[in-house]
Structure 1
């Protein structure tokens, strides 16, 4: 009985939220490719959510096979003339095409149309994130705290920098601080970086330089975050808590702002890993996503939707990496074609695809290994 209960908890607590989040993100990514392909009159052979054996599917009037497959860890759109899900050209099939078939083949389209089709997937991910955030802001609004320092912890970075209880943070490095969250976001990514602050104290404006400390924090689920900390707390007073509501246009603007923040933070982290400034152990794969999905699902539908938005941004950015097999790699090929006036040779493209496949597989193995180590540490 305990085994059945554990299996039920695993399915309902982790697998269902994981599939919910991943399916939304994958579907919209592939839908971006699909819609722009249709706009460019490219024949789409298949639209798949998942890989492997087909579970269920149907053909539409344009000849596209819409299907749900057994392995729910991604998806693809397969165009006429493609050899596989990564849009590697099937040169034998292309050579055997009639003139009529060739007119709707992806490989025969002008380079700008092929680039537009490929870029549409990641762009759809960013649009999805903006829509999700905007819907949350418009429906539920946002509770924000004014950036007033309630308490300064002894021997903290804030105390050493001269911050005092009651200070109102006006700006950090020239950026206006409207809420306590604005302050947290800047500080969290600025460990050991001197920050120039303007604060209002007893009606006067004071300039300070404060250097956040690098610290590791664990959340209630055991996930580790490496961030910068000042050592201050926000004001709990009702007059410092503001519930902000947004109209449709304001919500979209806030959604775009939130999407840009998540994207820029992700890019900063990836660059930090490449440059050796950040640890790579925070890179996670499907196991980590499933674990976080289950944890977030316990907090309600809004946090789960927010996770879907964040994951959508991450997938959009990953697909833009200039690695053959990914969308970014295809865009590099098309850029080279546009500059040279002709495509790269088949041999060069094939070598690139093989190298890209190797890199993608190594990244998957590395991320999965990180997931295993992360679970072992809990």
Structure 2
């Protein structure tokens, strides 16, 4: 009984950190509000989500080295401190430079957290229970993701005072949770194993010489690009085609995350029975049909259905590609892990391209960019071994 109490006492602060990990997804809805507030073009507004994910390219491997020096728990605490700072800054205004700084710090903090939190959990949960606990952590993370648009919408439309923050009330609300996570995790003793040998940039990049690893790296970039792209573009499609207000259209982002959460939950069970290749193919075809629907139809119901299909289809792509890459180089797991996390840089490339395309031909252009990523994943399906 005491062992269970001790386990839960350690798990609760770690799961709160997973919730804080989901703060990064607020960038989609936030960039839409900043676009309206500052009268930006799509290309200018999409710099914000691009900037957030740019830092994964820079910080993923160095974070692994840092963990070996100061430990996993201290690295997670550092990530929470950086995240706290990123959420504090918008309280003082929503100017262009202020939001650039805020989103930069949010991206840096999340890069630190994504790299260190999963290994920290492995110090608490081991064996066959680790995978299911990690899945639950992703479920908790997704709660923060789909709550963000609702909180922003509430702040933008609320009649009671929000201290002049409006939609930006989202930031101090999440900031309080970040502080709580710091306090709880900081006061929780967690024994850590001796660190593994750290991987360097050279060791990671050398793996791109292996064709399947390179294909997997690009696949991760496409997955994250579609994820961030849908998060950012879904409300814009409704605004452009149906004349919705941003507050009304913000539900589209939440809908995407709701179905991505459902997909993660069901995928954990489906992948125990079904072939990874077959389920991956089903997921990608589902996204391809959704993209075709966004090209062809302009009715509210079908647009929502397409967004939900993308959320479900994209929910297990990362885990399948990641595991396939590990299978391809089982003796280089540290290097492969660092390289795949660097692939989250796709969240920078896609929104920039989508912003330029949207300014040129409307949101159909943004959908076309995402469709290129889906087609690549369809080709990648042929390379999956089982």
TM-score when normalising by structure 2:
0.24
| Greater RCO, 1 or 2 (C-alpha within 8 Å, sep 6+) | 2
Higher strand share goes to which structure?
A: 1
Structure number with greater Rg is 1
Higher helix share goes to which structure?
A: 2
TM-score when normalising by structure 1:
0.24
